[in-house]
Structure 1
């Protein structure tokens, strides 16, 4: 059974653009590399041919995986979401109850996650812990060295 992933329009467009790049540009390049290596002689002792075939196999696996993700992707109509709870595509400001530090994260699908820009996956420990929480709730999140507590300060949408 395939897993449904939720995207913004921008995130889905980025996914499809990357998939098209792989199919339309990278796949033909891989075929050319195999043809060039094949032209160099005996295939049984041709490391360049073996490397090109392996690269093509990895590329095809990546394309197949991305096609599966794209086929199961759903665009979220953010206007229909409950803004009182932390859900996919919510911006959530939290406070670490241990050290008092405050952080803001956007909860996104795993493929859109980018910690540098403050986007965390809803499948990450913090993302899972925040889902469904409301302002004022405490999220207890299990991490390798124990449990961390975060207070939800704000929830909003862009």
Structure 2
């Protein structure tokens, strides 16, 4: 069975737009680069041709990746959770109890996750621990340094 990719509807639309751009505009640009590089003559010592072929390989790889993700996308919704619970698509603010620092996170699909940018999914220990919790809950998250406690301060749907 193929791996499912959890995405928000918004993210799926962005990936579809990127795929369309790559297949229409970018593919023609790379084909033009190849055509121009071939016109320089001997392909065995033609750096422009090698670069254009590398670019073509990257392009086709990205197209294949996007087609796979789109074909196996599962749209995440917050239907399974109450309005006052951390759920897919929501934003939430937590406080690190030990240090008193607050951070805001956006609960997204696995393909969109980027913890450094405040985007978490249920595939991370932090996201999995927060899922379904309410404002005021103290949540323990297993980290390499040991258990970290967070208090959920706010949930925005």
TM-score range relative to shorter protein:
0.7 to 0.9
Count residues in correspondence.
156
Asked if 2 retains the 8 angstrom alpha-carbon contact of 1:98 and 1:149, the reply is: yes
Matched with 1:9 is 9
> Aligned partners of 2:85, 2:24: CA distance in 1, in Å?
41
CA RMSD of aligned residues (A): 2.4
- Confirm or deny: 8 A CA contact 2:129 2:141 kept in the other structure: yes
1:26-37 equivalence runs, <5 A: 26-37=26-37
Partner of 1:42: 42
Alignment of 1:1-158 (within 5 A): 1-78=1-78, 80-83=79-82, 84-113=84-113, 118-157=118-157
For the residues of structure 1 that align with 2:60 and 2:97, how far apart are their CA atoms? 46
> How many angstroms apart in 2 are the aligned matches of 1:27 and 1:125?
39
8 Å CA contact 1:22–1:63 kept in 2: the answer is: yes
- How many angstroms does 1:117 deviate by? 6.5
Q: Gapped runs of 5+ residues in structure 1? A: none
Partner deviation per Cα, 1:67-125 (whole Å, 9 max, x = no partner): 111112233454x2312532221322222111122223220013334568743333334
Relative to structure 1, is the Cα distance of residues 116 and 154 closer, same or farther in structure 2, using a 3 angstrom cutoff?
Answer: same
TM-score (norm: length of structure 1): 0.82
Q: When the two structures are superposed, what TM-score results if normalisation uses the length of structure 2?
A: 0.82
Q: Is the 8 A contact 2:92 2:152 kept in 1?
A: yes
